């Protein structure tokens, strides 16, 4: 991922761009997202976000908050790609023939990771729990 110069917001923005591009470059079809799941897990663990022990082969569920009374709210993102050959010529185009994030799920996943980072930074203020579902 790119260097970390600039304001806190600029650093986060670049991190999320890099994440989306990594996901776009490495698409996996539905029920095959083993590497995508591992990538998401590593990023959440880096932020000390609790990953729930749910017996899933692909996808995961994480949680932020829960220290103060309040509702549980879920945020969800799809993580799978489509069986499409990418012909965009982008520098971060899919490296897997016949698989592409043409559906925007790379953006959905990066957005949910961004929300997770921001929510974790404000965890002490949260009334209730935010459950993050990567599916």
Report the C-alpha gap between 128 and 64 in whole angstroms: 9
**Per-residue pLDDT tens for 25-52?**
999 999 999 999 999 999 999 999 999 9
Q: What is the mean pLDDT of the chain?
A: 95
Question: How much of the chain, in percent, has pLDDT values that exceed 90?
Answer: 94
- The pTM (predicted TM-score) of the whole model is 0.92
- Structure confidence at residue 120 as a pLDDT band (50, 70, 90): very high
- pLDDT over 60 at 3, yes or no: no
> Which CA distances in Å does 135 have to 59, 62, 85, 131, 132?
5, 11, 22, 12, 10
Tell me: pLDDT of 1 over 50: no
- Which helix (DSSP H) or strand (DSSP E) does residue 34 occupy? helix 34-46
How many angstroms from the chain centroid is the CA of residue 78?
A: 9
Distance CA 66, CA 63 (A): 8
Domains along the chain with CATH numbers = 8-134 (3.40.630.10)
Q: Which tokens is 134 given?
A: 């990567």
């Amino acid at each position: 991922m790119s260097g970390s110069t600039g304001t806190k917001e600029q650093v986060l923005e670049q991190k999320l761009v890099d994440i989306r591009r990594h996901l776009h470059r490495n698409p996996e079809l539905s029920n095959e997202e083993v590497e995508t799941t591992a990538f998401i897990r590593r990023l959440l663990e880096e932020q000390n976000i609790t990953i729930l022990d749910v017996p899933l082969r692909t996808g995961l569920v994480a949680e932020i908050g829960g220290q103060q009374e309040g509702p549980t709210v879920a945020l969800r993102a799809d993580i799978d790609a489509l069986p499409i050959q990418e012909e965009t010529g982008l520098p971060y185009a899919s490296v897997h023939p016949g698989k592409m994030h043409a559906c925007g799920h790379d953006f959905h996943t990066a957005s949910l990771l961004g929300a997770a980072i921001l929510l974790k930074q404000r965890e002490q203020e949260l009334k209730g729990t935010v459950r993050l579902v990567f599916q």
